[in-house]
Amino acid sequence: MKGLEKIMNELEITRLEKLTRRHFMLDCVSKVGGLAFFPLLSSCGFGNRNEKAGLNLSERDLNPLSPLPSPFIPKAKSVIYLHMAGAPSQLELFDFKPELIKYHDQPCPESLIKGKKFAFIRGVPNLLGPQAQFQQHGQSGAWVSDYLPHFSKIVDEVAFLKAVHTDQFNHGPAQLFMQTGSPRLGRPSLGSWVTYGLGTENQNLPGFVVLTSGGKTPDAGKSVWGSGFLPSVYQGVQCRSKGDPVLYLKDPEGISRDLKKKIISTINEINQEEFEHYGDPEILARINQYEMAYRMQIEVPEVMNINDEPDYIHELYGTKPGQEAFSNNCLLARKLIEKGVRFVQLYDWGWDSHGTDHSTALDLGFRNKCTEIDRPIAALILDLKQRGLLEDTLVVWGGEFGRTPMQENREGKTMGYKGRDHHVDAFTMWMAGGGIKNGSSFGQTDELGFSGIEGRVSVHDIHATILHILGFDHEKFTYDFQGRPFRLTDVEGEIIKEILA
């Protein structure tokens, strides 16, 4: 026994000897560090506030899409955003530059491109005259090219922004910037902000629906309609553009609606227990999505089915039932807005007219793309107008940047087709509908259409304006994340009053 005690003693002494000052310091680092780590975690959404509040949930927590009033009386309550992914050429559509015809095929003045970077243009490119014929239209006398003959008839319904600029010349970052206010990943999209701030009126449909056409989704991926740091229930819901808009809407054979209801309630009961245990708001999002999916089964088949629309409407939009088409999506957008959906985002891919082949040539493939959207857009505006929906719906059209007044000379070579490179200094966007001054135009570019000389507006300005129309002060509409409030417009953005009614 004595021997054992001795050994134990020895062990204790050795242990204490090993416990040096160095160990103490090490312990301090890891433990004090741990202390500091906790608030960091909680600001990232872990260790949710619900835990502390004893699961005292507000109505908003339980039903995150319930409608909310905006801080100010809104001019519009919903948005249809038509994004032409790839960036269409403003110089073939809206920004008529007679001077550019004069200088066609002449080298671009060096003063213009000095110090500028382009995605593909190298050295000194030649200027490229407009490839379309322009004419003034409507009472407002807006210049629109013959590539958009139907749109020309409705110019008095829209307000043009002729000198928009961005700071990103690659598609992905530029699309992110246009849709989330930041060229880097991680920020919520415009539609997410709006659904977060306003909720949605129809409880059987998502608040933010995304429809794509043109064969591809935007280069920036699904983040352009992502919810970033907002709860994921606010992200855009992408519906399929072909076949069933939402898969598995129909109950499988032998499963009745009642049984489905029972299944979902049971799943949600389990999820509810899980939530009470962990307090993670993402579990709530999941519960809500299950319930939403169940309710969507009632409304979606009707809303997302364009076949029930009268022939007259099909002719107006030029729909192509059964195919993936921008025209179908325009008609769907109107139907969704009519049913109280807050934000409908349309992406049409195929506008990147570099002139590398037939499909990206300004006088060929680009022209065909214009034909594809011309009738549907004019139809959408007219259809919204005749139903009185244009009174409180904001329609936005644009790409992620513009195209250069110079012809692209990829790798310094003359190219076989006529195309233009990405251009950030000036491009055209337009808005129509609630709160917009019909038939107005703001901003002006220089005589070659290279940069804005008057009424330049930034992407942040456009976001500020959209939020203003929806009843928000973009400087006060914030979400706390990582220990600080975030805004869609970051620290910039001025409302473009010139195009407001």
| Interface stretch with another protein, choices 136-144, 213-221, 325-333, 386-394 (CB under 8 A) | 386-394
Around 152, how many Cα atoms within 13 Å sit in the side-chain half-sphere? 17
Contacts of 275 (CB under 8 A, 6+ apart): 283, 284, 287
Figure out which of the listed residues 39, 69, 186, 416 binds another protein, where binding follows CB under 8 A. 69
Contacts of 382 (CB under 8 A, 6+ apart): 154, 316
Figure out which of the listed residues 297, 371, 444, 451 binds another protein, where binding follows CB under 8 A. 371
Does the footprint of another protein cover residue 119 (CB under 8 A)?
no
Residue 292 vs 382, nearer CB to another protein: 382
Site track 272-291 with another protein (rule: CB under 8 A), x = hit: --------------------
- Collapsing DSSP to helix, strand or coil, 51 comes out as helix
Residue 326 vs 401, nearer CB to another protein: 326
Does the footprint of another protein cover residue 243 (CB under 8 A)?
no
| Interface stretch with another protein, choices 67-75, 83-91, 112-120, 422-430 (CB under 8 A) | 67-75
CA dihedral 376, 310, 382, 81 (to 10 degrees): -50
Contacts of 395 (CB under 8 A, 6+ apart): 79, 80, 81, 82, 158, 380, 381, 384, 431, 432, 433
Site track 333-362 with another protein (rule: CB under 8 A), x = hit: ------xx----------------------
User: How deeply is 27 buried, as exposed, middle or buried, from its count of CB atoms within 10 A (0-12, 13-18, 19+)?
Assistant: exposed
Under rule CB under 8 A, which residues in 421-460 are in contact with another protein? none
CA dihedral 187, 191, 194, 198 (to 10 degrees): -130
Distance in angstroms (rounded) separating the CA atoms of residues 258 and 313: 36
Does the footprint of another protein cover residue 320 (CB under 8 A)?
no
Does the footprint of another protein cover residue 97 (CB under 8 A)?
no
Query: Of 181, 194, 195, 180, which is closest to residue 226 (Cα–Cα)?
Result: 180
**Centroid of chain to Cα 253:** 38
Does the footprint of another protein cover residue 240 (CB under 8 A)?
no
Query: Of 243, 286, 242, which is closest to residue 264 (Cα–Cα)?
Result: 286
Rounded to the nearest 5°, which phi and psi values hold at 392? -130, 25
Query: Of 219, 252, 218, which is closest to residue 238 (Cα–Cα)?
Result: 218
Query: Of 234, 244, 248, which is closest to residue 297 (Cα–Cα)?
Result: 248
Strand partners of residue 394: 79, 433
Beta strands per DSSP E along 290-388: 343-349
Does the footprint of another protein cover residue 323 (CB under 8 A)?
no
Does the footprint of another protein cover residue 74 (CB under 8 A)?
yes
Residue 201 vs 291, nearer CB to another protein: 201
Distance in angstroms (rounded) separating the CA atoms of residues 137 and 151: 10
Does the footprint of another protein cover residue 412 (CB under 8 A)?
no
| Interface stretch with another protein, choices 244-252, 259-267, 270-278, 384-392 (CB under 8 A) | 384-392
Does the footprint of another protein cover residue 104 (CB under 8 A)?
no
| Interface stretch with another protein, choices 46-54, 104-112, 308-316, 460-468 (CB under 8 A) | 308-316
- Rounded least distance, CB 73 to another protein, Å: 5
Neighbours of 201 (CB within 10 A): 16
Total residues contacting another protein (rule CB under 8 A)?
39
Figure out which of the listed residues 43, 203, 272, 356 binds another protein, where binding follows CB under 8 A. 203
Figure out which of the listed residues 352, 383, 400, 408 binds another protein, where binding follows CB under 8 A. 383
Does the footprint of another protein cover residue 379 (CB under 8 A)?
yes
Does the footprint of another protein cover residue 364 (CB under 8 A)?
yes
Figure out which of the listed residues 83, 150, 463, 487 binds another protein, where binding follows CB under 8 A. 150
| Interface stretch with another protein, choices 22-30, 92-100, 146-154, 286-294 (CB under 8 A) | 146-154
Figure out which of the listed residues 45, 149, 172, 301 binds another protein, where binding follows CB under 8 A. 149
Residue 265 vs 371, nearer CB to another protein: 371
Residue 316 vs 424, nearer CB to another protein: 316
Region of 421 please: left (phi>0), alpha (psi -120 to 50) or beta. Answer: beta
Distance in angstroms (rounded) separating the CA atoms of residues 420 and 169: 13
Contact positions vs another protein (CB under 8 A): 67-75, 149-150, 153, 201-204, 312, 315-316, 339-340, 363-365, 367-368, 371, 375, 378-379, 382-383, 385-388, 391, 471, 497
